[in-house]
Amino acid sequence: MPGMGKGIASSVATSFNASYNNIRLALLVGICGGVPRKKDGGEIFLGDVLVSNGLVQYDLGKRFPDKFFRKDTLGESLGRPNQEIRSILEKQEGVRSKGLLEGRLASYLDVVQDRLGVQRAGYPGTEEDFLFPSDYRHKHREPQACSLCDSCQARGDPVCYEVLQMRCQVLKCDRTISGVRTRIPSEVENPPPAVHVGLIASGDTVLLSGDDRDEISAKEETIGFEMEGAGVWDNIPCIVIKGVSDYADSHKSRRWQGYASAAAASCMKAFLCEYTVPDRFMTTISS
């Protein structure tokens, strides 16, 4: 797509519909922000892949001085996937099918990494997978480095604009309070991505707030945040496949984007290996 957001995604989907009149399934592949802990207690790590079984348009609603109300009536919400897509996803959620999907994903990811190289698609390492407390702000940490950042103590307090372009190491964000996130078992040096199927939040906002991430995910039971799905969803039968490149908090960086993109693309290929076009949509070409 030429850019981010629902508007551009909707325009692309509309163009596709005008050019192809029998689209049965679109796969929207890219990167997203992940919810580190799911409602069922499972964990999502950087580099994992999220697959949508539904979308929540979390930024569509009414903003009052004290709170935001999302529009969630039947006429304003995104519809659930059609029967064909629901059947596909129900199959993928089975233990055997999920294991097969993750195994193929890992194999295809190895091929992508061999072709693109470590710089573009390599695994950054578990030591780069940091999850800061939700209320730990991304700001200047050294005393007197910035008066505005020094005065930032509460959730709504502002920080300087410069920190948006600066890495945690430069700002001296305290990694000791976050701890490195590791899978169990942790003896695998480069753990393969896990696949998580669930509701994904879609909106026109790049979410950079751990507090808002936790609040929205707890209310809507979402597992991630992305920006294009809502624009495609009502135009073409769609499944969103996104690699987790950050935790949708203020410490977002580009460090994991290459790997997450490669993981999502590999998941797409693995998914297509399991996808069978229903007989009623097959056409016979006479010689």
For 158: left if phi > 0, alpha if psi spans -120 to 50, otherwise beta; the answer is beta
pTM: 0.89
Most confident region among 76-80, 110-114, 150-154 by mean pLDDT: 110-114
Q: Tell me if 234 sits within 8 A of 55, measured CB to CB.
A: no
Cβ neighbours of residue 27 under 8 Å, at least 6 residues apart? Answer: 238, 239, 241, 268, 271, 272
pLDDT over 70, % of the chain: 91
**E strand segments, 80-221:** 195-202
Q: What's the pLDDT at 285? A: 46
Cβ neighbours of residue 124 under 8 Å, at least 6 residues apart? Answer: 46, 47, 255, 256, 259
- 279 pLDDT band, cuts 50/70/90, is low
For residue range 164-177, list pLDDT tens digits in order. Answer: 889 998 999 998 88
Closest CA to 221 of 197, 204, 250, 248: 197
**Does the pLDDT value for residue 22 go beyond 90?**
no
Q: How many CB atoms lie within 10 A of CB 101?
A: 23
Rounded to an integer, the average pLDDT of 79-103 is: 86
Which sign, positive or negative, has the C-alpha torsion 55, 58, 61, 67?
Answer: positive
**Does the pLDDT value for residue 181 go beyond 80?**
no
Cβ neighbours of residue 265 under 8 Å, at least 6 residues apart? Answer: 29, 108, 112
Q: Tell me if 264 sits within 8 A of 242, measured CB to CB.
A: yes
Query: Which residue type sits at 32?
Result: C
Least confident of 45-59, 87-101, 121-135: 87-101
For the 6-13+26-126+192-275 domain, the top CATH level (class) is alpha beta
Rounded to an integer, the average pLDDT of 257-286 is: 80
Rounded to an integer, the average pLDDT of 62-72 is: 72
Mean pLDDT of the chain: 88
Rounded to an integer, the average pLDDT of 111-122 is: 94
**Distance separating alpha carbons of residues 112 and 64, to the nearest angstrom:** 47
Rounded to an integer, the average pLDDT of 130-159 is: 91
For residue 247, the surrounding DSSP H or E stretch is none
Of residues 126 and 194, more confidently modeled = 194
Between strands 61-63 and 68-70, the pairing is antiparallel
Q: How many CB atoms lie within 10 A of CB 200?
A: 28
**Does the pLDDT value for residue 199 go beyond 60?**
yes
**Does the pLDDT value for residue 153 go beyond 50?**
yes
For residue 100, the surrounding DSSP H or E stretch is helix 95-116
Cβ neighbours of residue 74 under 8 Å, at least 6 residues apart? Answer: none
